[in-house]
Structure 1
């Protein structure tokens, strides 16, 4: 079997490839890096020539890594991390041995992540955390690409693994919460603490834009009708303020009930299937660095403080 020649592969090509692997489209990678799409395509072509096989499968909804692409990505992440550490050391900058990179899905940024980071600053002030928000699919790709060390992600019934790639991610359930519905305080449904699922028919909803990767979030699951989407917003707080303004209903994890703005009532829903949501801590199956282990402990403690589902 021929040994592939990577001697002329540039670090730029590796960085471009990692960005494409994480974002899953050449267009998105080009925008993130400030390159043209043709420049990104040229860098990928250089890598594929060196590998002697395609690294990406081009599809109508973007690109996916081939088996060879997974190998190159795993090695590229290691190389780039080492090069970045070398550059910092040569520049006389402090090493980042105390740094951990965290990704989190939107609603985890309301209570769980800030609570964990505040506790970590008190107990381990030498640990530096760089964090970023993203959808669960995007965060899973970031873990694979080596751009985050830990990810707090969401899981919906039937609670399948977040991807089918190997090696399988290590997943730990931080919490399991019931889904609730948020209604304007002036809405007729707000008079009680709970609502029957049948009463949600015919309501106007505030939801996230629907994507290929994620369904439309914000509409009560399993409604036996085509819901009327009055407003779309990705930010959960924006959705809740729209609820407060009387613009419609939206769904919310019960753990966030204490954070809703004035003018919003959070109700449990009777009837239909039980709508549970799991908050997972995800990582690659390898030993955690000391900073990452400390952050994981803080996230577990923060999730435990929130108490059981309600």
Structure 2
């Protein structure tokens, strides 16, 4: 069986697996059974004559052959989809950019950048999707997004070890703070001492961001009272007195009433980087315009109002 005989369905399934990181997640997204996904991957591996995925306890990882196939698959699928749109008389998508972002970036940074881009370049269409930083990295590798806003914590390692290395640009580096109810004793001062964080109930992230929301380096096992992926939900839980959580400084403009965000004194300085990531290579003009708008929005967010 030659690779030219690989079906478009198998290529779509493979790209979805590469992006989602597990066969189960890909099956759920596509509405397939896991066994159907496995069969499509097996047919593609037979056509390629080599394993495309490394099965691991925490999901799957692309082999060198798999990285080649996913890049080519993304090109083929995009060309087929573009042809279908043209035949159907739908608008040309040459001005479309696909942007991925992690949860807190969608509260302030992304809306500001998109609003500015609409004013200066209204012909550019931006399609966005939210997801964890690992999910966005997989999506970049799978070719389903063009740019990704990622979060990075010390020691600021690369987001993955695949080749070629992603091109990264630091949009901002900011401190981490603690969000507390406005009426809480911790909210009386202008900062929180790290020792006063012991024995608190925390509101943490869910899914791949399970540890998000708890102050790093606590010398005790934290009590996690609630888990929520959505930042707004976490902050409203704080306002309701259900616990405390961590927030990046950039979220200050989006804090709901009844919540104060305070710096933490004592212990190591906790910094977070906001990164713009993409695959290496020439950047199309619409994507370059969006990248510039994101950089400008990051500077604006850092500027005292």
Structure 2 residue 33 is matched with structure 1 residue 36 = yes
CA distance in 2, matches of 1:266, 1:37: 44
Alignment counterpart, residue 48 of structure 1, candidates 27, 45, 50: 45
Alignment counterpart, residue 271 of structure 1, candidates 262, 266, 269: 266
CA distance in 1, matches of 2:265, 2:39: 56
3-state SS of paired residue (2:302): coil
Extract unaligned runs of 5+ from structure 1. none
- After TM superposition, the structure 1 stretch with the greater mean CA deviation from structure 2, 38-47 or 4-13, is 4-13
Q: Report the CA distance between 1:90 and its aligned residue.
A: 1.7
CA offset digits 1:125-164 (Å, max 9, x no partner): 0000000000000000000000000000000001010000
Query: Does structure 2 conserve the Cα–Cα contact (< 8 Å) formed by 1:176 and 1:308?
Result: no
Match of 1:91 in 2: 88
Structure 2 residue 270 is matched with structure 1 residue 298 = no
Match of 1:247 in 2: 242
Match of 1:183 in 2: 180
Match of 2:251 in 1: 256
CA distance in 1, matches of 2:223, 2:257: 24
- After TM superposition, the structure 1 stretch with the greater mean CA deviation from structure 2, 78-87 or 240-249, is 78-87
Q: Which runs of 4+ in 1 moved over 2 A?
A: none
CA distance in 2, matches of 1:258, 1:52: 54
Query: Does structure 1 conserve the Cα–Cα contact (< 8 Å) formed by 2:207 and 2:229?
Result: no
What TM-score do you get using the length of structure 2 for normalisation? 0.97
CA offset digits 1:102-140 (Å, max 9, x no partner): 000000000000000000000000000000000000000
Q: What pairs up with 1:151-190 in 2 under 5 angstroms? A: 151-190=148-187
Q: Report the CA distance between 1:210 and its aligned residue.
A: 5.8
CA distance in 2, matches of 1:101, 1:186: 42
Q: What pairs up with 1:14-29 in 2 under 5 angstroms? A: 14-29=11-26
CA distance in 2, matches of 1:155, 1:129: 24
Q: Report the CA distance between 1:308 and its aligned residue.
A: 5.8
Query: Does structure 2 conserve the Cα–Cα contact (< 8 Å) formed by 1:177 and 1:308?
Result: no
Extract unaligned runs of 5+ from structure 2. none
Q: Report the CA distance between 1:58 and its aligned residue.
A: 1.3
Alignment counterpart, residue 229 of structure 1, candidates 220, 224, 230: 224
Count, aligned residues = 305
CA distance in 2, matches of 1:140, 1:281: 11
CA distance in 2, matches of 1:136, 1:295: 19
Query: Does structure 2 conserve the Cα–Cα contact (< 8 Å) formed by 1:210 and 1:216?
Result: no
Alignment RMSD (CA, Å): 1.4
Q: Report the CA distance between 1:7 and its aligned residue.
A: 2.4
Q: Report the CA distance between 1:258 and its aligned residue.
A: 2.2
Structure 2 residue 106 is matched with structure 1 residue 114 = no
CA offset digits 1:34-63 (Å, max 9, x no partner): 111111111111100011111111112111
Match of 1:102 in 2: 99
- After TM superposition, the structure 1 stretch with the greater mean CA deviation from structure 2, 115-124 or 4-13, is 4-13
CA distance in 2, matches of 1:14, 1:210: 27
Query: Does structure 1 conserve the Cα–Cα contact (< 8 Å) formed by 2:10 and 2:40?
Result: yes
